[in-house]
Amino acid sequence: MFPTQRPRRLRNHPQLRRMVQEHVLTTNDLIYPLFAVPGEGIANEVKSMPGVYQLSVDKIVEEAKEVYDLGIPAIILFGIPADKDMDATGAWHDHGIVQVATTAVKEAVPDLIVIVDTCLCEYTSHGHCGYLEVGDLTGRVLNDPTLELLKKTAVSQAKAGADIIAPSGMMDGFVQAIRSGLDEGGFQDIPILSYAAKYASAYYGPFRDAAESAPQFGDRRTYQMDPANGQEALKEIALDIAEGADMLMVKPALAYMDIIWRVKQATNLPVAAYNVSGEYSMIKAAALNGWVDEQRVVMETLIGFKRSGADLILSYHAKDAARWLQSS
């Protein structure tokens, strides 16, 4: 009887569907981003990211404990300093906000992996990811001088107890510079999760509210990648691997699943996908308006990242996803 092949046979029962499921999402795949600010008892909700907060260190510690109890193995820390300057002092100072938050979390929840974002845009007065020429209003970052700032920042973060350094500035040679700085500082065992393929994306808008890191002029297209380019991502990851990256990241994730796939096929290193702020906020806004089923859309999106080749997923949905996984 036609048809002989009936794929629906394997979809007839929930247990059978589980048995033949090709990809599985678990809490082990998730990393939760947190934003640290000076002060105490502070939890400022980010208006463009419902459910996401700027948190003082004491609140960061509370969140870290909750994240760990949910079975999520890691957080990534971003910092908003009290003061910003041309030298991004808050990024590399031993008492910088990320350094203080890192130490506090490692003391309170030692088994939680603390990843630190190693970038300068939150700390510079102009909002760009490094040094600029005096009087330059284009946002063209001076690459090699900025490498020295990134090296100092990474070493200070490692001294504070960070488990993983995650440089995101897209400077040429930043992995090599940071690797040499860590090794010279006695931190040979600290891995680097490189933002290897980071695109100049409109999806970052809400993050810039959260991290207070919007450029004061110009844009970041001279150092972040053109969204039209795919082959260039493979060049970027090859360079980062040669320079000593231990893991690679693709950012954003939703519109770049083809890049995640291509990166995964090109390397045997773990690949992370950053489910960025704009992706989060779009789902949140639609869910709050009753237009989509939030749980189903979030879980479908996250499994899509896994299907595209991601081993790790940085997501503001991570806590909700962990709860939904526990209840399923």
The response to whether 119 counts as a known ligand-binding position is yes
Both structure tokens of 47: 């208006």
Burial 82-109 (b: 16+ CB within 10 A, else e): eebeebbbbbbbeebbbbbbbbbbbeeb
Single-letter residue type at 275: N
- Ligand-binding annotation for 236, yes or no, is yes
- Say which of 198, 284, 306, 319 is annotated catalytic: 198
Check 59, 84, 251, 319 and give the catalytic one.
251
Find out whether 315 is annotated in a ligand binding site. no
Instruction: Give the three-class secondary structure for 131.
Output: coil
- The answer to whether 306 is a known catalytic residue is no
CB 121 within 8 A of CB 213: yes
The tokens of 142 are what? 């001076």
> Could you count the other beta carbons within 10 Å of the beta carbon of residue 325?
18
Residue 251 is a catalytic residue: yes
Q: Is the separation of the CB atoms in 80 and 120 below 8 Å?
A: no
**Is 18 annotated for ligand binding?**
no
Flag whether 277 is marked binding: yes
Residue list for the binding site: 119, 121, 129, 208, 220, 236, 277, 316
Catalytic residue ranges: 198, 251
Residue list for the binding site for 5-aminolevulinate: 208, 220, 277, 316
Residue list for the binding site for Zn(2+): 119, 121, 129
Residue list for the binding site for Mg(2+): 236
